[in-house]
């Protein structure tokens, strides 16, 4: 599965701790991330993360463009709800695209843990079936 990892500045430490805790699950999947978040994850783990630009420089939009094409199966986006973000319209667009494409999206640690444990159990395998159906239609 293709998983995007994104974290606002004040949530990057939390993302790194989350990824360390669930590295045994995440290692089985393709990981993508915005610039600094992806770098921090790779520095703290043995995981490989394909990185986009940082969020304020267009990374959220790059991921959003792929969500619009249904290229991601899960997004973990630790948002900082208490700090104004200069790229908030990009964040809102990404959340909207996840809703449109039915891409599971975790915006906090609690939801991320539920989704990652569901991923481990196979609860998100319907995304793979969706991918196969789309390939047949191409």
Which residues are known catalytic residues? Answer: 60
3-state secondary structure the chain: CEEEEEECHHHHHHHHHHHHHCHHHHCCCEEEECHHHHHHHHHHCCCCEEECCCHHHCHHHHHHHHHHCCCCCEEEEECCCCCCCCCHHHHHHHHHHHHHHCCCEECCHHHHHHHHHHHHHCCCCHHHHHHHHHHHHC
Token output for 69 = 């094409």
Cα(90)–Cα(18) distance, rounded to whole angstroms? 24
């Amino acid at each position: 599965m293709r998983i995007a990892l994104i974290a606002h500045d004040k949530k990057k430490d939390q993302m790194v701790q989350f990824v360390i805790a669930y590295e045994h699950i995440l290692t089985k999947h393709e990981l993508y991330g915005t610039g600094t978040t992806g770098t921090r994850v790779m520095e703290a783990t043995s995981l490989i993360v394909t990185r986009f630009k940082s969020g304020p420089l267009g990374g959220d939009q790059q991921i959003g463009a792929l969500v619009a094409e249904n290229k991601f199966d899960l997004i973990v986006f630790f948002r900082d709800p208490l700090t104004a973000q200069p790229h908030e319209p990009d964040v809102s667009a990404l959340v909207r695209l996840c809703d449109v494409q039915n891409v599971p999206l975790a915006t906090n640690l609690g939801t991320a843990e539920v989704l990652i444990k569901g991923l481990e159990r196979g609860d998100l395998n319907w995304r793979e079936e969706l991918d196969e159906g789309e390939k047949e239609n191409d």
